[in-house]
Structure 1
Amino acid sequence: MVRINLKGVATVRSKGRVYCYAWRGGPRLRGEPGSPEFIASYNEAVEQRRTLDKNRFRFVVTDYKASRDYKKLADSTRDQWSKWLDRIADHFGELRIAQFDRPEKIRPVIRRWRNQWADTPRTADYALQVLSRVLAHAVELGRIVGNPCEGIKHLYNNDRSEIIWTDSDLAHIKRSCSAEIANAIDLASHTGLRLGDLIRVAWSHVGDEAIVLTTGKSRHRCEAIIPLYGALRDVLARIPKRATTILTSSRNRPWTADGFGSSFNKAKIDAGMSERDLHFNDLRGTAATKLYIADFSMREIAETLAWEEESVEKIIRRYVGRSAAIKARIKKLQAKE
């Protein structure tokens, strides 16, 4: 085969195969190296890069492919995402970036695109996940104010109430994440608060006996009342007071949902956990187990987390060891005696 050296071509080896890209972070090239198809795809990529309109959404997709976040993904994840990024660029590429700043207009367009795979809900949600990450990148670039994918419900109905972060999971991610992310993980795993409430809970919400605040999901009609048990007091004592909110970014400012989401995803990637099916809100299940071991009744846990008692019982049966459950019951009996 004729060997032709094309300027800037990057090669990646994965599972015994070699993949070629137009440049580091650039699009994957088609065909065998040196073939007419390979050269044509290289020329197409270079021309597209040269004439890229920075006001079109294709620019955001290309810029994300060149970002450090994308390069940190595992090879297998990057291989899957590359296909979806190409589909996203083909479908949305010619739209102006500003159009994504009008959620009421763009969300129906996003839903119609996602619904192409409605027969396979997990695939449809995967497509939405990749698009959402690209849009989060647009937010980071300052090109749009918010991510319009937020608020679009997933098609795959997956009850995650039985999924928790184990102690080993928490220890693993905290070995490489920032102190700010570690503080958020600790507070979430001890309070069971949803992310939206967690990033706005302030020091003024902390009373002598409990953290009390209205919940966003109830449109502030309901209150979360989280007793200050020993382990939670220890967590609060470790967090420095840098702002009115308990949690802050590295700039000592309150988190935004998008800012925290991006930083938490980076932390999972850095910890090699990007492919684990663990979401930040799954820390609510972790909180349920901690509350149980701290002698909360099933009903008290359900009321604190705003769950059904049945969901709490499933978590306890699945994740709380028999010895821990027995010890908790012994403590209750001794207290009564």
Structure 2
Amino acid sequence: MRVRLKGINTVRRKLADGTIRTHHYHRATGTKLPGEPGSAEFLAAFEAAGRTAALARSAGTVAWLIRQYQASRAWTKKLSETTRENAQFDVRACEAKWGTTPLKIVENPRSRPGFLRWHEQLAEAHPRAADMKLSRLATIFAWGVDQGHLAHNPIATFERAYRSDRSERIWMPEHVAAFAAAATPEIWLAMMLALHTGQRQGDLLTLSWSAWDGHAITLRQGKSRRLVFVPATRALKAALDAAPRRATTILVAVRGAPWRKRRFHEVWSETFAAARITEDLHFHDLRGTAVTMLAEAGCTVPEIATITGHSQAHAQKILDRYLARTRSLAESAIAKLDDHRRNRVGLQTDLQTA
């Protein structure tokens, strides 16, 4: 089926020998379109000319700045493919709301209240999503300032609506044991890798067997781009040595194919529910758990950060939270012991006086 494209000028010229030559041009830009109408070459040139026209029409606006940002290294090279995919949703929302806004208005400090009101409106229903959208827009504006497109970033700082600190969320031994009892071998290997390496889920799902040399795992983290070297514990080495190599990736689904992120999340959630763990624990909390395990093994904060890829400050924060939690558990245990002893003494007194 042939698709009729709008915005094309067709020009026919008669050559000296009497033949007729037909040329096609993109109407808005005057760009000559190569190839025959409907061919891949023709369609690619038409789309490229359309993007050029759209960019020209939006010059000097937020939409134009977004296009410039997404064509830069800050977007194409410094962000992983997964991060770009997730961020694209927020970028579209920002463009839908602010795309036609001139940059001259944006860089005026008095524009700040308008952006903050939009953030507050979004936060009424979805505080975390509101933070992500305004944070993405702030990043684009900051890039614009660095490139000289903007003189001022009106939302360089803002108060976030969503507050959640999961640094105190730790998988305790009883949680791991319950999960292990409900897990398939494929899911249990994912747990082992996360628990003994402290790496993110995205990096582990794509981790290839070539990263494992029989003694340690070497990988470049997708988010931070840090190259980390993780010597294997005896337990992890035993698990990897016993694992069948059914694909290029270490972690695979039941049928042997690499995990799809959504499917892994579904199976992990089903396993967690089957384990009947009452605490609110996520896969990502295993990174913090790994930090505490390394600390209990005698590792220093710099050594821990080298393995997990955390900043030293964040690793220390996790440990501080963990120590506070274990102290409270210890105090609770002693209190229960004291109650038990008092009850026992009281019972013996009652028996003696009876």
Specify the structure having the higher radius of gyration (Cα): 2
Could you state the TM-score of these two structures normalised by the residue count of structure 1? 0.49
Q: Pick 1 or 2: higher relative contact order, CA cutoff 8 A, min separation 6.
A: 1
Could you state the TM-score of these two structures normalised by the residue count of structure 2? 0.46
